[in-house]
Amino acid sequence: MDACCVSISNGMCTNPLKARHALADALFFGSFQGIMPLIGFFAGSLFVGILSKYSFWIVSAIFLILGGKMIYDAATEEDKVECKKMTFRLLLIQAIATSIDALAVGVSFSAMQVNIFMAVCLIAATTFVISFASVYVGHKIGTLLNKKAGIFGGILLLGIAAKVLLDGLLAA
């Protein structure tokens, strides 16, 4: 769901939207959501303690910064909002941030009798499809909201930051 929300936000801020934008977004999110559980599965419990203690702080900070920047940029622009372009670096940061929890899922998979390759293929494919569609949904919303799209996208990212932080604090 985090990847879905970020993909919606990316779609809102991509104009003109081309199929390559949606494909890049979906490839990044699908790949990382599939790779991270695989890494976690093979890493086992080597670093699960560190990861579970601090991951929610890192993820929250990343989305807080990205969301705050989007809102600031949208609020300070006079006519047309220029959201961050969907770059390799931005997609990489977003994909890592949304898939850190999948690393922990992979660690738990290592303790269970799970066919890890089937699981990661299913996770990656599902995330790919949802992210691909979400970019288009976000673009449609962004077209309707116009200047407010950057603010709405930023609020989505701040919401993810708050959810991750709250979940992490409640689990601690």
Q: What is the pLDDT of residues 38-54, one digit of tens each?
A: 998 888 756 656 666 66
Chain mean position to CA 163 = 13
Q: Cα angle vertex 160, ends 149, 8, to 5°? A: 40
- pLDDT value at residue 131: 96
Q: How far apart are CA 7 and CA 21, in angstroms?
A: 10
Ordered mean pLDDT values, 10 residues apiece, the chain (172 residues): 86 88 96 93 69 70 79 70 75 89 78 86 96 94 75 82 83 71
- Structural domains counted in the chain: 1
Q: How far apart are CA 49 and CA 120, in angstroms?
A: 22
- Per the structure, the complete domain to which residue 143 belongs is given by 2-12+19-171
- pLDDT value at residue 135: 95
- pLDDT value at residue 149: 72
Q: How far apart are CA 48 and CA 37, in angstroms?
A: 12
- pLDDT value at residue 168: 79
Q: Cα angle vertex 90, ends 86, 94, to 5°? A: 115
